[in-house]
Amino acid sequence: MFFDHITPLDDRALTEALETSGFKIIENIVRFLPYTTKSRLPNSLLLVKLYLKVPLAWRFLGQQSFLVAQKTTY
Protein backbone atom coordinates (compact mmCIF):
# COMPACT_ATOMS: atom_id res chain seq x y z
CA MET A 1 0.00 0.00 0.00
CA PHE A 2 1.26 3.42 -0.92
CA PHE A 3 -0.18 6.91 -0.48
CA ASP A 4 -0.85 7.39 -4.20
CA HIS A 5 -2.83 4.14 -4.63
CA ILE A 6 -6.59 3.91 -4.23
CA THR A 7 -6.74 1.46 -1.33
CA PRO A 8 -7.79 1.63 2.30
CA LEU A 9 -5.20 3.37 4.45
CA ASP A 10 -3.02 1.39 6.78
CA ASP A 11 -0.38 2.63 9.20
CA ARG A 12 2.37 2.54 6.56
CA ALA A 13 0.38 4.62 4.07
CA LEU A 14 -0.59 7.13 6.74
CA THR A 15 3.02 7.35 7.93
CA GLU A 16 4.17 8.00 4.37
CA ALA A 17 1.52 10.69 3.84
CA LEU A 18 2.36 12.43 7.12
CA GLU A 19 6.13 12.35 6.56
CA THR A 20 5.69 13.66 3.00
CA SER A 21 3.65 16.53 4.47
CA GLY A 22 6.38 17.49 6.92
CA PHE A 23 5.32 15.57 10.02
CA LYS A 24 7.54 13.49 12.28
CA ILE A 25 6.04 10.25 13.60
CA ILE A 26 6.23 10.24 17.39
CA GLU A 27 4.41 6.97 18.10
CA ASN A 28 2.90 4.25 15.94
CA ILE A 29 0.95 1.38 17.48
CA VAL A 30 0.10 -0.88 14.55
CA ARG A 31 -2.59 -2.94 16.30
CA PHE A 32 -4.38 -0.85 18.90
CA LEU A 33 -8.18 -0.68 18.69
CA PRO A 34 -10.67 -3.26 17.47
CA TYR A 35 -12.65 -2.44 14.30
CA THR A 36 -15.80 -2.22 16.38
CA THR A 37 -16.90 -2.06 19.97
CA LYS A 38 -19.98 -4.16 19.27
CA SER A 39 -19.61 -7.55 20.89
CA ARG A 40 -21.29 -9.96 23.26
CA LEU A 41 -19.49 -8.26 26.13
CA PRO A 42 -21.40 -5.46 27.88
CA ASN A 43 -20.39 -1.84 27.27
CA SER A 44 -18.33 -1.06 30.33
CA LEU A 45 -15.90 1.72 31.16
CA LEU A 46 -14.07 -0.77 33.39
CA LEU A 47 -13.50 -3.13 30.43
CA VAL A 48 -12.21 -0.24 28.29
CA LYS A 49 -9.77 0.84 31.00
CA LEU A 50 -8.61 -2.75 31.46
CA TYR A 51 -8.09 -3.18 27.70
CA LEU A 52 -6.00 0.02 27.50
CA LYS A 53 -3.79 -1.15 30.39
CA VAL A 54 -3.03 -4.55 28.79
CA PRO A 55 -0.98 -4.04 25.60
CA LEU A 56 -0.84 -7.80 25.07
CA ALA A 57 -4.59 -7.70 24.36
CA TRP A 58 -3.98 -5.17 21.56
CA ARG A 59 -1.98 -7.80 19.64
CA PHE A 60 -4.95 -10.17 19.54
CA LEU A 61 -7.94 -7.80 19.49
CA GLY A 62 -6.50 -4.70 17.85
CA GLN A 63 -7.26 -4.12 14.17
CA GLN A 64 -6.78 -0.35 13.80
CA SER A 65 -3.61 1.70 14.14
CA PHE A 66 -2.88 4.56 16.50
CA LEU A 67 -0.51 7.23 15.23
CA VAL A 68 0.89 10.36 16.90
CA ALA A 69 2.70 12.86 14.67
CA GLN A 70 4.17 16.30 15.16
CA LYS A 71 4.59 19.01 12.54
CA THR A 72 8.28 19.72 11.99
CA THR A 73 9.42 23.34 11.79
CA TYR A 74 12.13 24.56 9.49
Mean pLDDT over 50-54 rounds to 91
**Rg over CA atoms, the chain:** 15
pLDDT at 5: 54
Q: Which residues pair with 68 in a beta bridge?
A: 27
| 23: confidence class by pLDDT, cuts 50, 70, 90 | very high
CA angle 18-4-70, nearest 5°?
0
| 26: confidence class by pLDDT, cuts 50, 70, 90 | very high
Domain chopping of the chain, boundaries: 11-71
pLDDT at 31: 87
Residue 39 and residue 47: Cα distance in Å, rounded?
12
